[in-house]
Amino acid sequence: MFSKILVANRGEIAIRVMRACKELGIKTVGVFSEKDKNSLHLEFADETICIGKAPSQESYLNVSNIISAAEITDSDAIHPGYGFLAENPQFAEICESCGIKFIGPSSKNIRLMGDKIKAKESMKKAGLPLIPGGQGAIKTKEEALTTANKVRYPIILKAKAGGGGKGMRVCHSDVRLINAFMTAQSEAKNAFGDSTIYLEKFLENPRHIEVQIIADSYGNVIHFGERDCSIQRRHQKLIEESPSPAVNNRLRKKLGEYAIRGAKYINYDSAGTMEFLLDSKGNLYFMEMNTRIQVEHPVTEEITNVDLVKLQILIAAGEKLKLRQDDIKITGAVIECRINAEDPDNNFMPSAGNIDFCYLPGGRNIRVDTHIYTGYKIPPFYDSLIAKVIAKGNNRQQALKTMDRALDEFLIEPIKTTVPFCKKVINDPDFKIGNYNTSFLNKFLENERE
């Protein structure tokens, strides 16, 4: 077992990981940038070390500074959290070569799943259903046109190095595609340093369903059911829930089988998430795999009563998975609202600044993962996520009622947040009956403007 873990992250996820370490009896190292001296995660760490200046590139993304910090503090493992270096294969490789355990899958698997074209190819070989589209990279606009007319419009262009929506273009005709192809290429080049594009049929109004898995280093893989993440704005999830209102036991079994089959095929050995699209006819398609612990992992922790971060750490330390698939029970309902320091009335503009007063919701069936407190100053350099409110109930209606009262309890002054917006969404008549898909938020926002 590890004796000391360096948590290469900040905010709520750094705290989440340190809590797991404490329960496992593992010492923690907290890292911070110069503008993060007053960050709450440092209070949770056994020791702390500065890793550079405020911009992420010079601190939380600075590989040499983080490796040095791990060596100076004699840490035997690094937990990357999510974002920053969590899915950087080079970073995982450097950890491996320095004898520091990267808490996550092998660099080989991170690299494979980071290439969205190769990821699809390997999952196809594993027997998973793929979204219809071109095989591999589309190199020219002529090739794009031929492929688009073969799979038929509408189509979507995606970046090979993308994921999470950047560099995507939906096209309904040849004329549009010719323009979109060039702009998608340059956007991908700008964002990822790689202009490679692939093409898929654009599914209209699908649901985004993802399956949480855990795999150990001995070939054991189990799944923890699905999360419905269809409530997204500009590819940022805002609300997630489990179980999905659109998934019955039969479909859940199929999702779980696909996810496990995919993970086994690549000898995956950590926590991970398989993302699928579910179309209106009930067809499932593999989309991509995330090789990290995700923001929304608490939804699954609360529905299954399993500590995923502790499991992830134990597996990285070489332990065998003790849980079997039959041990995983999905009962009741769980919903999560992401609270961002953004102004929904002003196009979700980030609203950094001082929190003069803050009261966090609590009480029965509520979990809040956060790093904010009265007097905390939100720096403008990082992600705008400041809290996750997770509500559970014996059924979806009860979970929604508990979420509604928890959001009423949440006080943050004077920063603008997504609290009131989340409250409006969970009280929407269609959302209340589970009638929503990935188009929901855009339509909701359009109706609001009227």
Q: Which residues bind ligand MV4 (CB under 6 A)?
A: 131, 156, 164-165, 170, 200-203, 206, 208, 232, 235, 277, 438
Considering beta carbons, is residue 391 or 441 the nearer one to ligand MV4?
441
| Chain center to CA of 41 | 20
Please state, in angstroms and rounded to a whole number, the distance separating the CA atoms of residues 445 and 228: 20
Residue 251's nearest CA partner among 284, 223, 221 is: 284
Considering beta carbons, is residue 236 or 398 the nearer one to ligand MV4?
236
Residue 209's nearest CA partner among 299, 306, 331 is: 299
The interaxial angle of helices 89-97 and 63-72, nearest 10 deg, is 30
Please state, in angstroms and rounded to a whole number, the distance separating the CA atoms of residues 207 and 409: 30
CB 432 within 8 A of CB 422: no
Output the smallest distance, CB 444 to ligand MV4, in A.
13
Output the smallest distance, CB 114 to ligand MV4, in A.
14
Q: How many beta carbons lie within 10 A of that of residue 326, not counting itself? A: 7
CB 205 within 8 A of CB 280: yes
Give the active site residue among 16, 207, 292, 396: 292
Output the smallest distance, CB 287 to ligand MV4, in A.
6
Considering beta carbons, is residue 75 or 232 the nearer one to ligand MV4?
232
Considering beta carbons, is residue 143 or 279 the nearer one to ligand MV4?
279
Output the smallest distance, CB 203 to ligand MV4, in A.
4
Residues near 440 by beta carbon (within 8 Å), at least 6 away in sequence: 230, 231, 430, 431
Q: Catalytic annotation on 292?
A: yes
Considering beta carbons, is residue 202 or 381 the nearer one to ligand MV4?
202
420 pairs with which residues across the strands? none
- Give the three-class secondary structure for 350: strand
User: 221-233 and 342-343 as β-strands: parallel, antiparallel, unpaired?
Assistant: unpaired
Output the smallest distance, CB 337 to ligand MV4, in A.
18
Instruction: Give the chain's radius of gyration (CA, Å).
Output: 21
Compute CA distances 22 → 61, 72, 297, whole Å. 25, 21, 19
Output the smallest distance, CB 273 to ligand MV4, in A.
13
Q: How many beta carbons lie within 10 A of that of residue 201, not counting itself? A: 18
Q: Which residue is nearest to ligand MV4 (CB)?
A: 438
Per DSSP, helices labelled H in 370-418 are 396-409
Q: Backbone phi, then psi, for 199, in 5-degree steps?
A: -130, 140
Output the smallest distance, CB 198 to ligand MV4, in A.
10
Considering beta carbons, is residue 48 or 438 the nearer one to ligand MV4?
438
- Evaluate the omega torsion of the peptide bond into residue 420 and state whether it is cis, within 30 degrees of 0: no
Considering beta carbons, is residue 245 or 379 the nearer one to ligand MV4?
245
Residue 337's nearest CA partner among 434, 417, 246 is: 417
Catalytic amino acids?
Answer: 292
